Amino acid sequence: MAFNLNLRNARVSMNLTQSQVAKQLGISVSTYTKYETASNEPDLKMLVKLADFYHLSVDFLLRGYVALNDSKTACDLQLSHEEIALLTQYRCLDDVSKGRLLERLTVLLEMTK
């Protein structure tokens, strides 16, 4: 997924407006909007600031996933490639979709008992 879409998904998943994020980052709304519409890209300092704000890695913002060898957290938890892929995809979902997925997972787990 493209950076601008990852950025938008991060904002939407936190139920924030572009204006709210821009204010927190100390930039204009139009600058932030340009990031989400791919009209402009942030410099490296702003990219790190965005990642910190959303509690995501720069890798995740840029790629839409965390590469296994770039993720100390994943290695510390000893997650498999499949588990990392699932978590990465889960983070891209909006809150409604996350809720639906958890409901389906609960049903699936009940069926395996």
Q: What number is the average pLDDT over the span 105-111?
A: 87
Q: Which residue has the higher pLDDT, 9 or 70?
A: 9
pLDDT digits (tens, 9 = 90+) for 60-71: 888 876 665 544
Quick check: 94 pLDDT over 70?
Answer: yes
Question: Under a CB-based contact definition with an 8 Å cutoff, are residues 93 and 13 in contact?
Answer: yes
Helix (H/G/I), strand (E/B), else coil: 35: helix
pLDDT digits (tens, 9 = 90+) for 32-65: 999 999 999 999 999 999 999 988 888 888 887 6
Q: What is the CATH number of domain 3-111?
A: 1.10.260.40
Q: What mean pLDDT, rounded, does the chain reach?
A: 84
Q: Nearest to residue 60, comparing CAs of 102, 93, 89? A: 89
Percent of the chain with pLDDT over 90: 35
HSE (side-chain half, CA atoms, 13 Å) at 52: 8
- Euclidean distance between CA atoms 57 and 71, whole angstroms: 9
Claim: this prediction has a pTM higher than 0.75? no
Is the four-CA dihedral 61, 66, 70, 76 of positive or negative sign?
positive
